[in-house]
Amino acid sequence: MRIATWNVNSITARLPRLLAWLESSGTDVLCIQETKTTAEQFPTEELRELGYESAVNATGRWNGVAVVSRVGLEDIVRGLPGDPGYEGTEEPRAVSATCGPVRVWSVYVPNGREVDHPHYAYKLQWFEALKTAVAGDAAGSRPFAVLGDYNVAPTDDDVFDRSVFEGSTHVTEPERAALTALRGTGLSDVVPRPLKYDHPFTYWDYRQLGFPKNRGMRIDLVYGNAPFAKAVTDAYVDREERKGKGASDHAPVVVDLDV
């Protein structure tokens, strides 16, 4: 079974590449972030033609998440239970579903913007709600994983140059402590480091030749419980999908399971 996560940075802009990638990669379940569309505008029919069902949580121009699966889609939960909301609004940042023998969450963690910004406090509150929401499944016997754009680099090795991020979000101790607390529910990072290269980044800014210069970050993560981690046979970042015209600024992260 092949499961992946990908921040597509607009599913409308990325649709031809997404459909081609699903066909060529043989992915069974894909967790998608930053759809930037409404649920009504989500390409459900195009995906169905490829054999994928869709579970979507999306409301408009910003944010938006989905799980698409060709191995079944049941027990769908849209939204994060206990979501703290931002400025009185619950943003579409989480959706979960059972896909065959595995249950997954697709999450798009708040960016945080700046350390002294209210969005940063919201980010930490959102992490706390996520930890509470997944604790039961994380401790369970069914393979379970939380996949997505976490907007946090777990260690200094997960950014191209730590000094560049001094005083910025994505690398602060409270954010990393939130990741540690999430793993404390029974989850672990199932994508090994290093992979086939020293720095398996997943995101590169469009500006200043970020990708050609490999000025990246590893912020797209797959955190699985013990049964999920035990079933992993391979994992990789598909850097090829970050290349060329019309690419997202994130690359897919792919995990193979023997379940």
Question: Which sequence positions are flagged as catalytic?
Answer: 108, 149, 250
Cβ neighbors of 41 (< 8 A, separation 6 or more) are 12
Tell me, what CATH number does 55's domain have?
Answer: 3.60.10.10
The total domain count for the chain is 1
What is the structure's pLDDT at 62? 86
Binding residues for Mg(2+): 7, 34, 149, 151, 249-250
Tokens of 54: 């869709």
Position 60 scores a pLDDT of 87
Binding-site residues sit at 7, 34, 149, 151, 249-250
Which residues constitute the domain of residue 13? 2-257
DSSP string, 64-92: -EEEEESS--EEEEES-TT---BTTB--S
pLDDT mean for each 10 residues of the chain (259 residues):
98 97 98 98 98 96 95 98 95 98 98 96 98 98 98 95 93 98 97 65 94 95 98 94 96 97
The predicted pLDDT at position 195 comes to 57
Q: Judging by beta carbons within 10 Å of its beta carbon (0-12, 13-18, 19+), is residue 195 exposed, middle or buried?
A: middle
Amino acid at 126: W
